[in-house]
Chain A
Amino acid sequence: MFKGEKFIEETVTKLKEGITGKALIAFSGGVDSTVCAALVNKAIGKQLVAVHVDTGYMRKDEPKNVKKLMEKMGLNHHFIDASKEFYSALKGVEDPEEKRKIIGEKFIRVFEKVAEKEKVEYLVQGTIAPDWIESGGQLRDTIKSHHNVGGLPEKMKLKLVEPLRDLYKDEVRKVARILKLPVAERQPFPGPGLAIRIIGEATPERTEIVREACDIVEKEIESAVEKGLMEMPWQYFAVLIPVKSVGVHGDRRAYGYVIAVRAVHSIDAMTCAFSKIPNEVVDRISTRITNTMKDKVNRVVYDVTNKPPSTVEWE
């Protein structure tokens, strides 16, 4: 069995030996990077600089919450709003692999700028097993390029440190609980963010729609779980499908996007079953999304595919 205490002890020792200068951690505020930051912080303390990049593709209120988290953990941190840069880099880009690669490279370039200023040599990432497995390489087929692996540029000045490489999410959560981190039970959120929850071009307008839709799905499902109506899914969110369909709003024709709702059960993301959401919950999600989004969205569908054959995120 995986033993969290032993893992923490061994990893901190290894990090102390392995990192001889300053290190920078790519801090998203999710479970993986937060656990990573806590471990490296234990090993090298103030030699660690945490950097959070607001890509513009974050969930609602996320940048604000991450800032608070970094302060609470006592991390030496930087907060960088790069949303304009990310939006313009993805302008006109439709292919999901291209989107992931552009985002991966942008992240690194932002980190390199901070690294230069702070004289940092190491880049710490919260990469976990499914990230490099799905990114492929050599024998393994590329399912999708995770921004922190397959999305990394070939030429990089920083040395990579990935203490969680062999762990799956359930094991990372165990470590987070032992370290008493407030993010231990948070659902996973992909590094490229909402950019891969918009099929096709991730424009700022579409981003606002999917951000709001994701927020509604999260709040409704969390409240249903609290009421005991359903089990907590592994991951639950909305996807914007850039196809328009006809609706009727107040006796007038409407023509808006389709939102797909996705919720899956899993322990490690390597196989997933779609969640059985009670009809009354689906109903509330659908009504809230269409009413909030008015003429922008007039159709909501629920994704009933397992992984395999599909993957959790659509891109």
Chain B
Amino acid sequence: MVKIYVVDNGGQWTHREWRTLRDLEVDTKIVPNTTSFDELVKEGIDGLVLSGGAPRIALEDDLGNSGEYFEKAKFPILGICAGHQFMGRFFGGEVAPSKIPEFGKIELTILKQDALFDGVPEKSIVWLSHNDEVSKLPDDFELLAESENCKNQAMKHRKKPFYGVQFHPEVEHTEFGEQIFRNFVKICEK
């Protein structure tokens, strides 16, 4: 059984991420974002999901020990919303308040096919809830998806198995959300 933990950054949908993983028969648990990297390694995890949360990454808010995970992890990490933004900032990109924040239903356009989006059509409906966004892509990353008002909806590290998504694949109303989680589980199984 693959083991993927959810790091809680205080998001409204952290528990939904846990539920989606559990429904996919993943061994999963919600852990606080103050958990150290060593503690995670001790648990023998195969991957990590960083939840969203109320912190404003554009205003320099921190996200617990996420930086340590990025420095040391060899296993896949999926950053969602604030988790995605923090990943962008950590690796040298920029995060800024969105000119037009997105709340609710938005159309996602996939720009580059990737294992994370297997079985997801070029255009699909996703749900969002954010005030900030990754305004400048970090050097080591490639852009995977966009929406009308947010240029960075998904990104991937070129050398490490790190992914970031601005939208929320864990909520019921995101059309292919469960498929995206299934793909991430597969990436963690490798």
Q: A133 contacts B15, CB within 8 Å?
A: yes
A140-B19 in contact (CB<8A): no
Decide: B15 and A266 in contact? CB cutoff 8 A.
no
Task: Write out the residue numbers on chain B whose beta carbons fall within 8 Å of the beta carbon of A140.
Answer: 10-12, 53-54
Interface mask (B155-190 → A, CB under 8 Å = 1, otherwise 0): 000000000000000011100000000000000000
Q: Which residues of A contact B (CB under 8 A)?
A: 1-2, 129, 133-134, 138-141, 143, 166, 168, 266-268, 270-273, 305-309
- With a CB–CB cut-off of 8 A, which chain B residues contact A309? 103-104, 129
User: Is B146 at the interface (CB under 8 A from chain A)?
Assistant: no
B104 touching A270, Cβ below 8 Å? no
Contact A273–B10 (Cβ < 8 Å): no
Asked if A270 contacts B172 (CB within 8 A), the reply is: yes
Taking a contact as CB atoms closer than 8 A, the residue among A138, A143, A271, A305 that contacts B173 in the complex is: A271
Instruction: Check B23–A1 contact: CB distance below 8 A.
Output: yes
Chain B residues close to A by CB (< 8 Å): 8-16, 19, 22-23, 25, 32-33, 53-54, 103-105, 127-129, 171-173
Closest CB-CB distance, A166 to chain B, in whole Å?
A: 8
- Chain B residues within an 8 Å CB radius of A141: 10, 54
Can you list 19 pairs linking A and B with CB atoms under 8 Å apart? A1-B23, A2-B23, A129-B15, A133-B12, A138-B10, A139-B8, A139-B32, A139-B33, A139-B53, A140-B53, A140-B54, A143-B12, A166-B15, A168-B19, A266-B172, A268-B172, A306-B104, A306-B105, A308-B127
Min C-beta distance of A222 to chain B, whole Å: 23
Distance, CA A2 to CA B15, complexed state (A):
14
Chain B: minimal CB distance from A252 (Å):
42
User: A139-B10, A140-B54 in contact; A308/B19 too (CB < 8 A)?
Assistant: no
Shortest beta-carbon contacts, A-B, top 7? A139-B10, A309-B103, A306-B104, A141-B54, A308-B129, A140-B10, A271-B171
CB-CB under 8 A from A270, the residues of chain B are: 12-13, 16, 171-172
Beyond A140-B10, A271-B173: 13 further Cβ-contacts under 8 Å?
A: A2-B22, A2-B23, A133-B15, A138-B10, A139-B10, A139-B54, A141-B10, A143-B12, A168-B19, A266-B172, A268-B172, A309-B104, A309-B129
Closest to A129 in B: B15
Chain A residues positioned under 8 Å from B54 (CB to CB) = 139-141
Q: Which of B12, B23, B129 has the most CB of A within 10 A?
A: B12
Residues A308 and B53 in contact in the complex (CB < 8 Å), given A268-B16, A270-B13, A270-B16? no
What residues of B have a CB within 8 angstroms of the CB of A138 in the complex? 10
Q: Which residues of A contact B172 (CB under 8 A)?
A: 266-268, 270-271
Q: Which residues of B contact A268 (CB under 8 A)?
A: 16, 172
A139 to B13, CA, bound (A): 13
Task: Find the B residue at minimum CB distance from A171.
Answer: B19
In the complex, which residues of chain A have a beta carbon less than 8 angstroms from the beta carbon of B128?
A: 308
The complex places the Cα of A134 from the Cα of B10 at a distance, in Å, of 11
B-side contacts of A266, CB under 8 Å: 172-173
Asked if residues B129 and A139 are in contact (CB atoms below 8 Å), the reply is: no
In the complex, which residues of chain A have a beta carbon less than 8 angstroms from the beta carbon of B127? 271, 308
Chain B residue with the shortest CB-CB distance to A142 = B54
- How far, in angstroms, from A205 to B25 measured CA to CA in the complex? 52
- Nearest CB of chain B from residue A24's CB, rounded to whole Å: 27
A273 in contact with B105 (CB, 8 Å):
yes
Q: Which residue of B has the minimal Cβ distance to A1?
A: B23
Q: How far is B78's CA from A115's CA once the two chains are assembled, in angstroms? A: 48
* Minimum Cβ distance to chain A for residue B121 (Å): 20
